[in-house]
Amino acid sequence: MMIPAMFVAKSILSTSRPGRNPFDLFIFAEEAEVADDQREWMRANDVGLRTDIDLSDYHGLFNPEHRLSAATLTRLFLPSILEETHDRVLYLDADLTIHGDVSRIFSLDLGDHAFAAVRSATIFPKGEKQKAETEAHFDDLGMTKPYRYFNSGVMLIDIRTWRNKQVSENAMEFIRTSFDKCRLMDEDALNATVDGDFCGMSPLWNMSPTRTPEEYRRTGPYMPVILHHMGMAKPWRLFIRHRHMRIGWYYYGLYRDFLKDTPWRDWLATNWTWGDFTRNLEWELVESLRKFTRRAERRAQAEIRERYWREEPFADLEQGIVVRDGGVMRLAD
């Protein structure tokens, strides 16, 4: 994930306004994960590299063939690593694309919360069965109703409060004692132990992409700052089932532009096959038919989504970091 991490770092630097909210930018990785040419790129692009993290005790918890590794636990160790030098940390996964000035979120007032994040599992595209299965999982984690589950791919952390509340320690204890309950290890452990005690940001900071930025600009009702390419539909994979080809082409193009003058320009071609193309095309054709047969279901989901956007008390909206402008929610000027 070093190349995606460097892509995210470069995107942050190109979209942030210097001087507004000064920040340090670090990529965290274990020493053996970083190649010499990657170190050189980071030095040349003013991206800090931190290898003062040891995950060796946790590698055995993960199946080496699974897409997740011990690196996913990195976010749990950042507050203790950075507490002597920083007040806040914006943790970002590597499978993101950046479309606005992320440094704006550093001005968010968290109140007495240890961190801010974006809620997930608020809409269930597959209906009541999916909702029941998801809520049964939350119940198994020991969460209480009404469930407030968040996605841990983007978190604004107040280091002192996080440390005082022992958020990392509680999550790691849950992993040790309830490992079998965790589907996404760090995320489930955090949600189980925090149980809704976080500051809710609007989805602009952590959205799953269903369109291109131009389509968002043209049709609204929101302009995302961070898009999170969750699951298998990564932006560096040109073709993948369950994602429209036009969307794949756009985000793949961002990676192509980033890599064209680097030593890793051939890396993209290793991430997809013509078999992926065939499967993507088959899905695209089936989805075209579903557009007509599931029209009422799609309309109902859109209404649920719009109601959530309209009624949820987002802290960044209440504090003016995000505004509603002509029916479109976007980052304030």
Going by DSSP bridges, is the β-strand pair 226-228/115-119 parallel, antiparallel, or unpaired?
A: unpaired
**Calpha distance 103→90 (Å, rounded):** 9
**Calpha distance 235→230 (Å, rounded):** 10
**Calpha distance 241→9 (Å, rounded):** 27
Determine which of 52-61, 190-199, 211-220 has the lowest per-residue pLDDT on average.
Answer: 52-61
Average pLDDT, integer, range 298-302 = 76
What tokens were used for 171?
């999550």
**Calpha distance 77→86 (Å, rounded):** 14
Nearest Cα to Cα of residue 202 among 221, 182, 183: 221
The three-state DSSP-derived secondary structure of the chain is CHHHHHHHHHHHHHHCCCCCCCCCCEEECCHHHCCHHHHHHHHHCCCEEECCCCCCCCHHHCCCCCCCCHHHHHHHHHHHHHCCCCCEEEEECCCEEECCCHHHHHHCCCCCCCEEEEECCCCCCCCHHHHHHHHHHHHHCCCCCCCCCEEEEEEEEEHHHHHHCCHHHHHHHHHHHCHHHCCCHHHHHHHHHHCCCCEEECHHHCECCCCCHHHHHHHCCECCCEEECCCCCCCCCCCCCCCCHHHHHHHHHHHHHHHCCCCCCCCHHHHCCHHHHHHHHHHHHHHHHHHHHCHHHHHHHHHHHHHHHHHCCCHHHHCCCEEEECCEEEECC
Distance of CA 117 to CAs 70, 188, 241, Å?
A: 21, 14, 28
Q: What is the pLDDT of residue 121?
A: 81
Q: Residues with Cβ < 8 Å from 202, sequence gap 6 or more?
A: 118, 222, 309, 312, 314, 316, 317, 322, 329
Q: What is the pLDDT of residue 81?
A: 94
Residues, the chain: 333
> Domains of the chain (ranges plus CATH)?
2-208+305-331 (3.90.550.10)
Evaluate if residue 122 carries a pLDDT over 80: no
Query: Is the model more confident about 330 or about 20?
Result: 330
Q: What is the pLDDT of residue 67?
A: 59
**Calpha distance 45→59 (Å, rounded):** 30
Q: What is the pLDDT of residue 68?
A: 66
Is residue 19 classed exposed, middle or buried when 0-12, 13-18 and 19+ CB atoms within 10 A define those classes? exposed
By percentage, how much of the chain surpasses pLDDT 90? 69
Confidence of residue 292 (pLDDT cuts 50, 70, 90): confident
Q: Residues 7, 255: contact at Cβ < 8 Å?
A: yes
Evaluate if residue 209 carries a pLDDT over 70: yes
User: Does pTM top 0.85 for this prediction?
Assistant: yes
As beta bridge partners, residue 115 has 157
Phi, psi of 84 (to 5 degrees): -80, -15
Determine which of 45-49, 156-160, 175-179, 248-252 has the lowest per-residue pLDDT on average.
Answer: 175-179
